[in-house]
Structures are given as structure tokens and as C-alpha cells.
Amino acid sequence: MVAQQTNQGQYQLLKQLNQLQKFIGNTPLYPISRVWSKPGVQVYAKLEWYQLGGSIKSRPAFHIIKAALTDINWTSGKRLLDATSGNTGIAYAAISSALGLPLTLCIPENASKERIDILRSHQTDLVFTSRFEGTDGAQEVAKRMQLEKPEEYILLDQYSNCANWQAHIRTTAPEIWAQTQGQVTHFVAGLGTTGTVTGTSKGLKAFNPGIKVIGLQPDSPMHGLEGWKHLETANTPPIYNPRAHDELLEINTEEAIDLMKKVAIKEGLQISPSSAANLLGAIKVAEKLSSGIVVTTFADDASKYREIWN
């Protein structure tokens, strides 16, 4: 009887989740034309805030939650649990709220007020971790909580969960391929959990092995690019595949913030620092080309970064 009730509960939740799928992905491709241009070369950016949860992290969050709900060991009443620097957590919160699922997030105590306010609006249970240990420290706290109370928590573990990068094989890569009519030559994106680069690379190269994928990382351990990792000094996510990118470029935070402000003036888009960093990397790649189509992602907009504009 208990098993039947559990299966019925899973079925109802998955049904509700599948109804949300049309609000995940399918984001527009925006042509960059005023902040940078070059004859024969086009740079495009996917506007990832046009989906439930407001960022590119909605894609992996959706598929990670779906994997948790389809797991044979799932039982009702448990809380979803993970570590986050912000965007994945907000996506988790939006989706969990729509499903009526309880959620606990471990987040560094220096997360922005905007992030905290959004998460609290979804009634997310927040566990604040050391600002000095960043998301690496938050991950350790989440893992310890699950080990101490396995009957209470389902650890989603975005940094190790294969559903993270698989989400981009299923959604991001085919969208880019279709939106460029199969003409994309380069894909450029920052490395955080590394899911975007890992999955999109695998998906795009399945369409055309000649597509070049460039990964981006901050040029310093002490950087201001939310969600990004300086791989040499941070814990490398288990899902990271160094063969996913053909090249690795370093991006300066100050240059990215300067470009972010230029994009607002010249392109009419208010984007986040990490989105501007992606664009900066895409421009660096495009400048070396005589022809081609370079695609990147604007992971989220500027709504959670108001302090930078003041």
C-alpha cells in the first residue's frame, strides 16, 4: 500500500513537472551588432532569462529535479537539498514551488540581497555557509547534512549530477543548431559547474564535429564573476570534462563589467557580469575569425546585480 501511494505521488509530481517543461529553454537568439561587429562574422547570445527561474540554470535544475523524482528510492516528504551560489538555487526554488516540494539550499553568507530575497519569496529554507569558502564550502555542508539525515534530504548535487550536462544536450545544443540553421561554427561559455560547456559541446559536436567550443574561466582566483570557477584553485566539479572544450580563455572581471555597461547603452540589454564575460570571450574568439557564427549565452539579466550599477 505504501509503495502504491509513493508511486502515485511520483506520477502526479512528474505529470506536474512535465507541464512546466514548455517554460524551460526555447530562449531567443539575439544578434550582437552595435557593441561589436565585423564583416563576415556574427556573434549571437541566447537570452536565458526568458524561462521559468530566470536563468540558464533553469535547464539543469529542471532535469536534475526530474531525475530525483524518477529515482526508485524517492519517497514523499523528503526535502530537496543542494548547494548554490544563486541561479541554480533560484531555478530549483521556482520549480519546487510550482510542484509544492520543500527545498533547502546551502548558500554562502555573502550572496547578494537580491538572491536571498528571491529565494525567501519562494519560502526556501536557507542554510548560510562561510563566505570565505564559497560554493565549495556550501557543497561540503550540503553533503554533511544529507549524510547526517538521509531520511530527511534528497541531495541533488548539481556539481556531480549527470542530469546537469545532459540538460544541455537535450535543449541548448539543438536550439542553437536550429536557430542558426546549422551554421554555428563556435560556441563560447564560462565554466562554473561546467555543465553548459560539457553538455552543449557534446550536443553540438554530434551535429557537426567541426564546431569549436571555447571554455572561459576567470583570470584570477579573486574574481567577481558569480558562479564561475578558477579551475586551478577551486574544487573541480566531477562532471567537468576538459576534452569538452577545444580552447580555454581567461576573462578579466573589470573588462566584463565595463562591457556589461556598454551592452546596456548600445544593445538595449541589461545583462549580468557573467553574461558580459561570456560576450567578452565570444568577441575575443570572433576577432580572430575572417568568417563564422559565434554563439554564447547570456546566463541571466542584471536584476540580481543592482549594486554594480550604483
Do 179 and 284 lie in a common domain?
yes
Same domain for 184 and 36: yes
Residue 139 lies in a domain: yes
C-alpha distances (whole Å) from 105 to each of 41, 52, 139, 239, 305 are 42, 18, 10, 20, 20
Specify whether 274 is located in the same domain as 290: yes
Q: Are residues 95 and 148 in the same domain?
A: yes
The last residue of one of the domains, among 155, 178, 194, is: 155
In this structure, are 210 and 85 located in the same domain?
A: no
Least-confidence region, from 60-74, 87-101, 117-131: 60-74
Do you know the residue count of the chain? 310
Tell me, yes or no, whether 125 and 87 share the same domain. yes
Cβ contacts of 93 within 8 Å, gap of 6 or more:
53, 103, 105, 118, 119, 122, 124
Question: How many domains, the chain?
Answer: 2
pLDDT of residue 172: 98
Task: With residue 298 as reference, give the H or E element that holds it.
Answer: strand 292-298
78 and 35, same structural domain? no
Residue 222, CA distances (Å) to 132, 193, 211 in order = 11, 18, 32
| C-alpha span between 204 and 214 (Å, rounded) | 12
Residue after which a domain boundary falls, among 155, 181, 208: 155
Q: Are both 42 and 63 inside the same structural domain? A: no
Question: Mean pLDDT in the chain?
Answer: 93
302, part of any domain? yes
Pick from 67, 45, 15, 39: nearest CA to 300: 45
> 91 and 118: one domain?
yes
Contact assessment for residue 296 and residue 271, using Cβ atoms and an 8 Å cutoff: no
Query: Residue 136 belongs to what domain range?
Result: 58-155
Same domain, 173 and 32: yes
User: HEC string of 208-253?
Assistant: CCCCEEEEEEECCCCCCCCCCCCCCCCCCCCCCCHHHCCEEEEECH
pLDDT of residue 235: 82
Residue finishing a domain among 129, 155, 181: 155
Tell me, yes or no, whether 4 lies in a domain. no
Does the residue 2 lie in any domain?
A: no
- Give 125's strand partners: 104
Q: What is the mean pLDDT of residues 2-29?
A: 83
In a domain, 162, yes or no: no
Q: Rounded CA gap, 90 and 51, in Å?
A: 12
Is 123 within a domain?
yes
Residues 12, 74 contacting (CB under 8 angstroms): no
Give the pLDDT confidence score for residue 222 in this predicted structure: 80
The Cα–Cα gap between 208 and 204 comes to: 6
126 lies in the same domain as 184 = no
Cα-based distances in Å from 149 to 21, 92, 251: 31, 21, 40
pTM: 0.93
Provide the CATH number for the domain around residue 280.
Answer: 3.40.50.1100
How many H helices and E strands in the chain? 11, 10
For residue 107, give Cα distances in angstroms to 16, 83, 257, 266, 273. Answer: 27, 6, 24, 34, 19
C-alpha cell at 55: 536563468
DSSP H or E run through 153: strand 153-155
Tens digits of per-residue pLDDT, 171-213? Answer: 999 999 999 999 999 999 999 989 999 999 999 999 999 999 9
Among the listed residues 251, 241, 67, the one whose alpha carbon sits nearest the alpha carbon of residue 154: 67
DSSP per-residue string spanning 39-83: TTEEEEEEETTSSTTSSTTHHHHHHHHHHHHHSTT--TTPEEEEE
Residue 283 has pLDDT above 90, yes or no: yes
Tens digits of residue pLDDT in 30-77: 999 999 999 999 999 999 999 999 999 999 999 999 999 988 677 778
Residue 34: DSSP 8-state: S
pLDDT digits (tens, 9 = 90+) for 145-157: 999 999 999 999 9
Per-residue model confidence as pLDDT tens digits over 219-240? 988 887 887 888 888 888 899 9
Asked if 118 and 248 sit in the same domain, the reply is no
What is the SS3 assignment for 101? coil
161, part of any domain:
no
304 within some domain: yes
Euclidean distance between CA atoms 113 and 120, whole angstroms: 10
Q: Which CA distances in Å does 280 have to 41, 181, 220?
A: 15, 24, 16
129-155: buried (b, 16+ CB within 10 Å) or exposed (e) per residue? beeeebbbbbbbbbbebbeeeeeebbb
